[in-house]
Amino acid sequence: MSTSVTPSMSRASIDAAAFNRFLELGGRVLLALLFLLSGLSKITGYGATAGYMAAMHVSPTLLPLVIATEVMGSIALIVGWHTRIAAFLLAGFTLIAAIIFHHNFADQIQTLMFLKDLAITGALLMLVANGAGPLSADHRRTR
């Protein structure tokens, strides 16, 4: 994209477009950090996480898949590589996790955690719909 000002483009619209590109990148990074830090904490607290999964009637043998989903999915979002696919998979993962781990609506904290997961799922679905934006590996691949 040319950054030269044409008669139909004001300096303000160029600045707004540049600002929006960085907002898209910042949003992807912030959203992905949640999954990256969560995945890494599952590695360092592997035994505790496996125990929690077992207590919730989820097989701890799924933990390596969970870690891979969170870490690799978050990296894909940050870099903007196959963003729609990564966001779709993370959205499904988040929705399933919300249903399994935060279904006790009598507990206000669990209700808030469930709603937080729904909001995150919504943000991920927006990435599925709109893609990563121009500051991404996806954009570079399609040029």
pLDDT tens for 16-41 read 888 899 999 999 999 999 999 999 99
Residues whose CB falls within 8 Å of the CB of residue 3, separated by 6 or more in sequence, listed in order = 14, 18
Q: Are 134 and 83 in contact (CB under 8 A)?
A: no
Q: Could you tell me where the DSSP H helices lie in the chain?
A: 11-44, 46-55, 63-79, 83-101, 108-130, 137-142
What is the reported pTM?
Answer: 0.87
- The one-letter code for the residue type at 30 is L
pLDDT tens for 115-130 read 999 999 999 999 999 9
Q: Taking the domains of the chain in order of start, what are their residue ranges?
A: 11-142
